[in-house]
Structure 1
């Protein structure tokens, strides 16, 4: 296996759009997304001497990006109110047998094709931005960054039941938004 080399002069051309689209799903707003992409490239330039060539340039940049995103979440958590309020209540209702009313739609989405669909990514970003800041942070850390529930609870001083409720409500809100903004188009 040959070792990979860095080509910083091509990073913007090769990776900026990809990082930006991914960032829009993680953070609220294009300004923050722009900033995170720039911070990622700057950090990569500063630490390019540490690149060992054992991974691809893309993998290395995404690793830096994930660290910068986590740093941003940690710094913003100080201003984040994680109390659950009536405004956070589910818009999905359940009948007496515990089934959703109305029943969820069948999405019939091919996951392979969905990951390449820019329009889907835009709708998902819009839906993610529609989440309250607390739900957005918690959902991203758990479902996108893959942090364990234990780490999230410790980081934000949450009880596991509160975390579960927040994730449940975030998923339900995303589901409703995706159904009304994406699935109705097909």
Structure 2
């Protein structure tokens, strides 16, 4: 049962006022998108697409979750679509990153080459300035990842998505997923060690 009542859409006895969405939720959705996409303009576009999609699907929204949760779910789907498109474009960058990682390990025995072996960061956890500096370096390292790697890593470690769900959404095999995760972690570790004094 859908009906208009003083500018509000009444859907299954749930009242929603789309006019207030931007004021209530735009900042939250934008921050969420920027943290996952590395690009402010794309984040703005996807938030706008989210509001448009929500308007188109409003008649099906029955209030089982809050508007904020519902809009965030739509945005997550928009971000996943963006990741899928990026994944299909990133083959050249993946090959370049893979070739850079060949020197990490000894070809004969598979052990770390001494220059690339893991080293302690020496991070004092009670020093907020050092933690902030490390966070900035990590953000820079994440920006250097190929789009597919960034997509997989952020879905797994920022969104807490299940591995199976990521594989389905990005059309990856289980083996591809774990190889990408391994290579991403190697790449991030090398980048952090290079830029962290």
The TM-score with structure 2 as length reference comes to: 0.64
Alignment gaps of 5+ in structure 1: none
Alignment gaps of 5+ in structure 2: 1-12, 105-110
How many angstroms does 1:52 deviate by?
A: 0.8
How many angstroms does 1:37 deviate by?
A: 0.8
- Report if the CA contact (8 A) 1:142-1:149 is conserved: no
- Report if the CA contact (8 A) 2:141-2:192 is conserved: yes
Number of residue pairs matched by the alignment: 171
Cα distance per residue 1:51-76 (max 9 Å; x no partner): 11121111011111111112222233
- Report if the CA contact (8 A) 1:44-1:64 is conserved: yes
Higher RCO structure (Cα 8 Å, ≥6 apart) = 1
Partner SS state of residue 54, structure 1 = coil
How many angstroms does 1:33 deviate by?
A: 0.9
Q: CA RMSD in A?
A: 4.0
Cα distance in 2 for residues equivalent to 1:107 and 1:50: 51
Matching of residue 166 in structure 1 with residue 180 in structure 2: yes
- Do the aligned partners of residues 90 and 23 (structure 1) sit closer, same or farther apart at CA in structure 2, a change above 3 Å counting? farther
Cα distance per residue 1:93-130 (max 9 Å; x no partner): 9588xxx6321444638xxxx9xx9x998776544323
Cα distance per residue 1:124-177 (max 9 Å; x no partner): 6544323222311221233334142575289444461x4324213323544676
Matching of residue 102 in structure 1 with residue 119 in structure 2: yes
The TM-score with structure 1 as length reference comes to: 0.67
Matching of residue 86 in structure 1 with residue 103 in structure 2: no
